[in-house]
């Protein structure tokens, strides 16, 4: 009986030693080996050590982008850090007990969606690269010069498609270099668009006292901002957006403005004559008025209710180009007069203006504001 007990204990001890040795062997083999079924981008990385797997994963990521004959290396510090963080999950074994649990770990599939390039890091580099690749589009232009509409052709531009390039990089694992995606930027407006601008749709003139130096300067500055401005079909025009804020830094001077029922001095006094003159030309062109406000007191350059006051950030004059083509604003000043014309593509709703009009005055029309 005693012999049987000794024999059983010896057998149990031998079994424990064998099992322990097996665990040690298993731990020694698996604690730094990728589990079965680690597949990334169509490749099986099962059984590789962490160092091997880290190296091969990082080698799968493109290291540069190209444009024409130029190669632009990609910094991948953030991407490499993400791979190492993921490997911390693939190789979590810390103890012998964990080694036994590791035997039952499921297969792992790595997709480009959960490991690889750090998007923020790559996008930042592509944004810097876009400054080298991008070429601005040069639009076709039209301007009224010496009573003639002079036209110049435009030139197409190009732009780095940052999101498109990112998507291409993400689908190009295993390639060392990836060609960037570049989009053409078409000419807008093109020469055909500006060629259609031939007819006068609106033409209105108002007058001012050229002896008022400050106010005259303000009227002329606003006219310069408006002159040769193109409005695409369907687009809304904003006087404040085009002319900008009337500040001393922009060259505007203090002149008379209305504040309720009072007349005070303020930067940009007089520019309401530009907006009111433009309003009359817009009326003649039969365009849709989006916003118009009257002055709180009568003005000398427009009939009652026919003015359009503006105040940057508060009151604006806005209208929509309802025509089927581009609209050109011509704004010219002469000795005491302001003439604004709208050139465009006429139609049944917006016919050619045959008889230009202006605010009634005894003085003859000046020839120096063609």
Residue the block writes with tokens 């203090």: 254
Give the pLDDT confidence score for residue 17 in this predicted structure. Answer: 41
Name the band, by pLDDT with cuts 50, 70 and 90, for residue 361.
Answer: low
Number of helical H runs and strand E runs in the chain: 10, 20
Number of Cβ within a 10 Å radius of residue 251:
13
* Token pair of 303 as six digits: 């009939």
* 293-339 pLDDT per residue, tens: 988 787 888 888 889 999 999 999 999 999 999 999 999 999 999 99
pLDDT at 28 over 50: no
Burial of residue 61 (CB within 10 Å: 0-12, 13-18, 19+) is buried
Average pLDDT value over all residues in the chain = 82
Angle, helices 119-133/162-170, rounded to nearest 10 degrees = 130
Give the pLDDT confidence score for residue 22 in this predicted structure. Answer: 44
Average pLDDT over residues 48-64: 83
- Which phi-psi region, left, alpha or beta, contains residue 228 (left: φ > 0; alpha: ψ -120 to 50)? left
User: Structural domain boundaries of the chain?
Assistant: 2-60+75-116, 196-369
Residue the block writes with tokens 């780095």: 160
CA 352 to chain centre: 37
Average pLDDT over residues 103-110: 50
Task: Output the CA–CA distances (angstroms, integers) from residue 351 to 79, 285, 294, in the order listed.
Answer: 62, 7, 27
* 121-151 pLDDT per residue, tens: 999 999 999 999 999 999 999 999 888 899 9
pTM of the model: 0.71
Higher pLDDT, 77 or 284: 284
Name the band, by pLDDT with cuts 50, 70 and 90, for residue 268.
Answer: confident
Residue 339: which H helix or E strand, with range?
A: strand 337-344
Give the pLDDT confidence score for residue 93 in this predicted structure. Answer: 53
Nearest CA to 236 out of 309, 320, 174 is that of 320
Name the band, by pLDDT with cuts 50, 70 and 90, for residue 14.
Answer: low
């Amino acid at each position: 009986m005693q012999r049987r007990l000794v024999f059983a204990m010896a057998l149990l001890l031998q079994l424990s030693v064998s099992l322990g040795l097996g665990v040690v062997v298993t731990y020694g083999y698996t604690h730094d080996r990728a589990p079965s079924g680690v597949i990334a981008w169509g490749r099986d990385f099962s059984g590789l050590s962490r160092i091997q797997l880290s190296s091969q994963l990082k080698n799968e990521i493109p290291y540069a982008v190209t444009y024409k004959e130029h190669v632009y290396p990609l910094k991948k510090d953030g991407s490499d850090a993400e791979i190492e963080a993921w490997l911390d999950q693939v190789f979590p074994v810390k103890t012998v007990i964990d080694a036994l649990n590791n035997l039952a770990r499921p297969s792992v599939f790595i997709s480009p969606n959960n490991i690889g390039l750090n998007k923020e890091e790559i996008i930042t580099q592509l944004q810097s690269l876009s400054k080298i690749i991008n070429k601005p589009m040069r639009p076709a232009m039209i301007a009224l010069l010496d009573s003639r509409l002079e036209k110049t052709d435009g030139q197409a531009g190009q732009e780095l498609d940052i999101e498109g390039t990112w998507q291409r990089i993400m689908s190009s694992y295993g390639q060392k270099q990836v060609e960037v995606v570049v989009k053409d930027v078409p000419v807008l407006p093109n020469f055909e668009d500006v060629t259609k601008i031939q007819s006068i749709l609106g033409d209105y003139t108002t007058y001012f006292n050229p002896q008022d130096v400050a106010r005259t300067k303000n009227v002329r500055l606003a006219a310069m901002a408006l002159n040769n401005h193109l409005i695409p079909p369907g687009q809304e025009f904003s006087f404040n957006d085009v002319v900008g804020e009337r500040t001393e830094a922009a060259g505007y001077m203090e002149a008379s403005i209305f504040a309720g029922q009072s007349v005070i001095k303020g930067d940009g006094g007089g520019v309401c004559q530009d907006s009111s003159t433009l309003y009359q030309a817009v009326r003649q062109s039969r365009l849709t008025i989006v916003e118009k406000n009257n002055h709180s007191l009568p003005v000398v350059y427009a009939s009652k209710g026919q003015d359009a006051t503006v105040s940057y950030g508060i009151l604006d004059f806005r209208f929509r180009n309802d025509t089927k083509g581009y609209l050109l604003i011509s704004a010219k000043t002469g000795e005491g007069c302001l003439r604004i014309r709208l050139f465009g593509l006429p139609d049944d709703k917006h016919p050619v203006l045959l008889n230009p009009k202006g605010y009634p005055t005894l003085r003859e029309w000046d020839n120096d504001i063609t």
